Amino acid sequence: MRIVSLDHLVLTVASIERCCAFYSGILGMRHETFGDGRNALVFGSQKINLHLACNEFEPKAVHPKPGSGDLCFVIDDVAAAQVHLEAHGIEIIDGPVARTGAVGALMSVYCRDPDGNLVELAEYQ
């Protein structure tokens, strides 16, 4: 067996609406519903499934909790991202700063989503 890619991950959130407003309205992901009223944020060929805190779908993590995520998204222009975040009143908590990604050097800016998850927006150099 070998892992070939990541299909989706799950975020436990305090509010589906607030989460979708940030990831769709600010970061440009597409909100979709699927199955029996489940929610996901879609970008590229991946997605983030959303679980409402204290109402998670089974099976789930042992200790699901809003704000415990640390996510990195590859973007096309970190300078434009910084301007975009600031224009929407999103605080940049670090960056631009050089980092190392899965396949090379990155330039990154960091912010937080409504649940306090760390969101890194990174451009490969």
Domain limits of the chain? 8-124
122 vs 108: CA distance, rounded Å:
4
pTM to 2 decimal places: 0.93
Can 56 be counted among the known catalytic residues?
A: no
Asked if residue 58 has pLDDT above 90, the reply is: no
Position 3 scores a pLDDT of 86
State the catalytic residue, choosing from 17, 32, 86, 120: 120
CATH number of this structure's domain 8-124, picked from the four choices 3.40.50.720, 3.30.70.360, 3.10.180.10, 1.10.340.70: 3.10.180.10
Would you say 48 and 9 are in contact if contact means Cβ atoms under 8 Å apart? yes
Q: What is the pLDDT of residues 60-76, one digit of tens each?
A: 889 999 999 999 999 99
Residue range 7-36: average pLDDT?
Answer: 96
Q: What is the pLDDT of residues 71-120, one digit of tens each?
A: 999 999 999 999 999 999 999 999 999 999 999 999 999 999 999 999 99
